[in-house]
Structures are given as structure tokens and as C-alpha cells.
Structure 1
Amino acid sequence: MISDYMQVRNPRAPDILVLIDLTERIGHFALHDANEAWRVWSLTRGKNLAPASLHRWRAILMAAINSGCRARGLTPPYVATVQKIQPPASVYLSREDRDRLLACYSENSRPVAVTLCFQGLRSGEALRLDWQFVDFERRSLFIHKTKTGRQRSVPMHPRVHRELLALWEERGKPDKGEVFLTASGEPYHDQTRVRFGGNPFRFVHNQACRRAGINGFTPHSWRHHWASWMVMSGCDLFTLMKLGGWSSLRMVERYAAVSSDHLSDAINRLT
């Protein structure tokens, strides 16, 4: 069923990697033992994964099973659900902590961090950015490869414009090629082409956090930081959804609470 699903449905590359791993580890189980197969996988390959990751793996597995059962007129077997999780609270830094952290990145990695901080891109979107999609004249970035598959064009923040323009001139004004390179001059690996690799920017990010004395702030936290400050600066949720590339308003509703807290702080400062 997993093999058929990959051929018929043509899922996204990251999902194909998940399906291949599931096939290799539990593909020998019969359909009526799908729940036991999932239990075995959860206790081995999935034992150290966060609930959100487990939920995603199970969803992909069930998509294959349900598709196969529909095609064969079968009733899908029961597969235990993952414990329901609450959406993570938004994480954002004060302006002082933000600037201190940005100053702690290496010279090579700082342009990546500035882009994450002021554009709200996902790490993969930023690391895949190509010079051909950077328009300095119109001050815009075209995000050609996204998590949702929906391409988008976003205005370039002034600080990002300054960082990228300096980098572009330093590189000899290339018209194509990866914008961000590692310290060794190589492109960051594309996570959609690497099996289950971690965030390639995490190591240098963690080093910067240690220097700045900031804990619990991941590369993806920059996206929450950006969204939170966008709302606190007066951005409406629909515009935030479009700029950030979220697929629905439901996914940005958590930031409405940030706005309320910010307004309360402003009221409380009145004396």
C-alpha cells in the first residue's frame, strides 16, 4: 500500500523519505497488524521524536493506508493516535536580546540570522534562497520552494536589503547561485534532499545563543519572533498569513494573544 501510494499519489519529496523509512522498518507487517507495526516503529525509530513529529509520521502512514483501502474496498485498520498536543506558545525576544543575539553570530552566518529575524522565512526557505530570486531594485524576495508548495513574493526588509546587497557585491554581483554559504564556502544542504537531516543552521545558531546567554531559542524561533513582533507592530493576521506563507488563518491565530498582551503592557505603563 505504501509503494502504491508513492506511485499513484506522487507525494512531496519529504513525505517520500518518510514513506521509504516506514517501508524499510515496518513494511513487512500485514495490514491487519498496522497498529502493532506503528507501536513497534514508535518504540524504535520514533522513540526520541516530539509529539508533533510523531503526529506527522502517523498522518503520512495513514494517508497511504487509507488510500490503499479505498482502492481495494477495505476498511482501514485502527492505528493508535498520538497524544493531542497544544500549539506551542509564541516565542519572541526583546529588541535588546534580539540585537545581542544577532551580534553574536559569526560574520558568515549573520546574514542568514538577519533574514530569519526580519523576513520570517522558514530556515529551509532562507537557506535555499537563490540570487536569481533576489530583486534589489524592487526590494523583494521570491520564495520559490516552500513547505506548503505555494510560492510567494515578499517585500525585503531594509535591514535584509542592506545585508544581502553587501553580500552580493562582495561575491562579485552573481546572477544566480545560493545566497547563503557555509564557512567553508559550500551551500547549506537542502533538507528536502537529505534523509532525516537536522537543521543545517542549528550548530552556528546554538553557538550564537550560548555567546548571547539565550536559552530555548531555536532557528525556527526566529519565525515566531518575527510573527509576534509583526502583530505587536500592528500587522493584521491575514497579512501576516500571506507574508509568512501559512496556509490558513487558524495557524496564525496564536499571535493574536501576543497583541493583547502587548496592548495590556502599554496600558499598564500609563501613570
Structure 2
Amino acid sequence: MAIKQVKTGWQVNIQPGGRSGKRVKKTLPTKAEALAWERHIQATVQRNPDWTPPKKDARRLSDLVDLWHRHHGSGLKDGESRKRILLAMCNAMGNPFADKFTPDQFAEYRLKRIDAGLTPNTMNREQAYLRAVFNENIRLEHWKKENPLTKLRSFKIQERELSYLTNPQIKVLLESLSQTISSDVNLVARICLATGARWGEAEGLRISQIRNGVIQFVQTKSSKARAVPITQKLETELISHHESNNLGERLFEAAYQAFRDGVKIAKLILPKGQLTHILRHTFASHFVMNGGNILALQKILGHHSLAMTIRYAHLSPDHLQETKRLNPLAKLNLC
């Protein structure tokens, strides 16, 4: 019998090319679907007698991660750590066959992770990592089907208000940093405040990156170098600091813990997750409040998208000032 009922549905078992042809088997949920598939295969063989069914793809999700890493991820700055995260995700989802992987499986996985205390931001990042694995394998023609995560929406994240330090707070912080055991931490912090650099970018500076009144940041999050002007006073201080230490090309030793100690001494209460990053927010906020251009700020900060930089626009002195004279109460002299 070509079609019979089995425990998992209705099984089609036919030789569309005759007794000498290749046997084809497939199980479908309903008898109607099984009959329709049988007719489809028979019609396909009539049109093309040499047709053979595609080989079953036995690759697991982790196999696609390995392919991604070999051909693309190994060249990324965070390639190794991203691979570890991806493989952990595969294991947590039971490492399914790649061609059987569905959006529902990932949606179920992320709900369990949320229940376990992970943040929506973390899950959006994991989703982006796995989506990129499929996209890159499609681009390299290692994957012929659609990306199963294309239509799965990420969690919508409520934007947090960006905090920054006021001028009095900056003075208190810098004084407190000078009280720590680190001879580098105050200067690293001032580089961040003067250029909008991330802590790691400033802390990892080499003397060769400072010349002609410009700091050239090369080891950046976006992997794109950017040049930011500094004052002659700061450049002279950096050169002098380098000459007085014994670190070769490097200007500074690790000073992150000293910054944490300085924040405690200053008794500053910072938003969660914004320890050293508060310096970058402070630079950007003061840049805009002092009349700086948003497009110029985008280049200084090295943001790929203007959407990242536009978050600071509301701090501009001219931001939405028209509301004071264009609202209906103003026209009626009632405000």
C-alpha cells in the first residue's frame, strides 16, 4: 500500500519511477496531505524521469554555528565569545536538526530564559546572534532555505533616560579619583570626558595614537578607527605621563577598579550598568547642551546609526523651542 497510517501520521511509501526507481518515504499529519504529496511526486517524476528526492539535511544547529565561525565569526573581535554563547544556546534548545528548527522553538527558549532572570536586552542580543548565523550561511550558500528567525520579532525595549554628570559632580569625581592608589585613573577618566571614548579605548591607548593634537582610536567596538581632536594642554600631559611611566608603548595600567573606588569615595549614585560608561554619556550630553551638532557627535562617538546619537538631541538648547510660541495658548496670550 502506497499510503498507510502510522503513529505519527500518514506515511507515503512509493517508487514513482517504477520498480527500478528510488523509493520515496515521507510522513505527513493527514491523509489528504499525504495523497497530495504523492500526486506531486508522481507528477514531478513524469516531467523529469531523472528526478531524485533531495538528500536529508542531517546537520544540527551547532553545525551551522561551526560553519559561521569558520568562514566569518573567527574574523570578528568577539567571535570566540559569540561562538560560546551560540553553542550554549544550541545545547539549551536540544541542538535540533537545522532544517527542523522553527521560530516557536526559539520563542519558547527565550521565555524560559526570561523566567530564569535574563533581561529582554540579553535575549534580543542572542536572537540577533543566531539570526546572523543563518544570514551569513545563506550568503555563503551553505544554507539554501529561509532564515527561520526572520519574522520573529525581538522584544520591544523601553528606552531609559540617559544619565550624565553635572559640572560639580565631575569636579568631585576627579578629586576622588586622585585619592585612589592608581596614578592613571584620573587621566583615563579625563580622556573619556574630553573625547567621548569608551573606558577600554582610553585605558588601552598607545603613545603612537596621539599626535598633532588628535587621538586616533583604533581598538573600537565598531572596529572602525576614529580621530578626535584634543587640546594642546591634554596632549602635552599625555606625552609627559608616558615619559614618566615604564610601560613601553602603553600609556596606562588597568585602572577600572580604581575608578570604581573613586566613585565610592565621591558617593555618586550611578544607574545600573553605567559605571565607566557614565563618562561617555556625560561627554555627549554636555557636547549637545553646549550647542554641539548631532551629526558631528555621531562621528566623534563612532555610532553606526544616527538613531543611537539622536537620543541626546533633547538636551540641545534649541530642542523643540517652537512649542513655546506655536501652541494655542500662546496665540491667545494665556501662557
> Would you call these one fold, judging by a TM-score over 0.5?
yes
Deviation of 1:132 after TM superposition, in Å, equals: 1.5
Is residue 207 from structure 1 mapped to residue 279 from structure 2 by the alignment? no
Query: Contact 2:207–2:250 at 8 Å: present in 1 too?
Result: yes
- Decide whether aligned partners of structure 1 residues 208 and 38 sit closer, same or farther in structure 2, where only a CA change above 3 A counts: farther
Residue 252 of structure 1 is matched in structure 2 by: 309
The SS at the match of 2:68 is helix
Moved more, 43-52 or 205-214: 43-52
The answer to whether structure 1 residue 30 and structure 2 residue 106 are counterparts is: no
Partner of 1:131: 207
Q: 2:136 aligns with which of 41, 44, 67?
A: 67
| Cα deviation 1:55-91 (Å, max 9, x = unaligned) | 2222111110233356332133248544211343222
1:56 aligns with 2:128: no
1:192 equivalent in structure 2: none
Q: Secondary structure at the match of 1:77?
A: coil
Query: Structure 2 vs 1, CA of residues 154 and 36 (structure 1 numbering), >3 Å: closer, same or farther?
Result: same
Residues 29 and 87 of structure 1: CA distance in aligned 2, closer, same or farther (over 3 Å): same
Distance 2:111 2:239 in 1: 47
Of stretches 235-244 and 82-91 in structure 1, the one that deviates more from structure 2 is: 82-91
Name the amino acid aligned to 1:177: E
Question: How far has the Cα of 1:168 moved from its partner?
Answer: 1.6
Runs (5+) with no aligned partner, structure 1:
184-200
Letter in 1 for 2:122: S
Aligned partner of 1:141 among 215, 226, 244: 215
Which whole-Å CA distance do the structure 2 matches of 1:228 and 1:56 have between them?
26
Question: In 1, are the aligned partners of 2:189 and 2:199 still within 8 Å (CA)?
Answer: no
Aligned to 2:66: 3
Structure 2 contact 173–266 (Cα < 8 Å) conserved = yes
Retained in 1: the 8 A contact 2:69–2:79? no
Matched, 1:103 2:179: no
- The DSSP-based 3-state class of the residue aligned with 2:78 is helix
**CA pair 64-100 structure 1, distance change in 2 beyond 3 A:** same
| Structure 1 counterpart of 2:275, from 208, 215, 218 | 218
Change (3 A) 1:102 1:54: farther
Percent identity between the two aligned chains: 23
Partners of 1:244 and 1:140 in 2: how far apart? 14
Q: Establish whether residue 13 from structure 1 lines up as the match of residue 13 from structure 2.
A: no
Checking the alignment, whether the CA contact within 8 Å between 2:219 and 2:225 is kept in structure 1 is yes
Contact 2:68 2:137 survives alignment (8 Å): yes
Question: Could you list the runs of 4 or more consecutive aligned residues of structure 1 that deviate by over 6 angstroms after TM superposition?
Answer: 261-264
Equivalent-residue separation in structure 2 for 1:53 and 1:205 (angstroms): 26
Compare 205-214 and 82-91 and name the one that shifted more: 82-91
C-alpha RMSD of the superposition: 3.0
Tell me if structure 1 keeps the 8 A contact 2:222–2:304. Answer: yes
Distance 1:114 1:263 in 2: 32
Separation of aligned partners in 2, 1:122 and 1:247: 15
CA distance, structure 1, for counterparts of residue 237 and residue 111 of structure 2: 43
Is 1:116–2:116 an aligned residue pair?
Answer: no
- Is 255-264 or 20-29 further displaced after alignment? 255-264
- TM-fit CA distance, 1:37: 5.4
Show structure 2 runs of 5+ residues with no match.
1-63, 325-335
8 Å Cα contact 2:193-2:282 kept in structure 1: yes
1:199-249 deviation line (CA, Å, top 9, x unaligned): xx2x33222112111112521111111001011112101111111211232
Q: Give the 3 Å change call, closer, same or farther, for CA 159–125 of structure 1 in structure 2.
A: same
> Match of 1:193?
none
Per-residue deviation, 1:150: 1.1
Name which one, 1 or 2, has greater alpha-carbon Rg: 2
Q: Which residue of 2 aligns with 1:188?
A: none
Q: 1:131 to 1:59 in 2, by over 3 A?
A: same
207 and 29 in structure 1: CA distance in 2 versus 1, 3 angstrom threshold: farther
Give yes or no for contact 1:232–1:259 (8 Å, CA) kept in 2.
yes
d(CA) in 2 for partners of 1:116, 1:66: 36
Whichever residue aligns with residue 215 of structure 2, its letter is: L
Structure of greater relative contact order (alpha carbons < 8 Å, 6+ residues apart) = 1
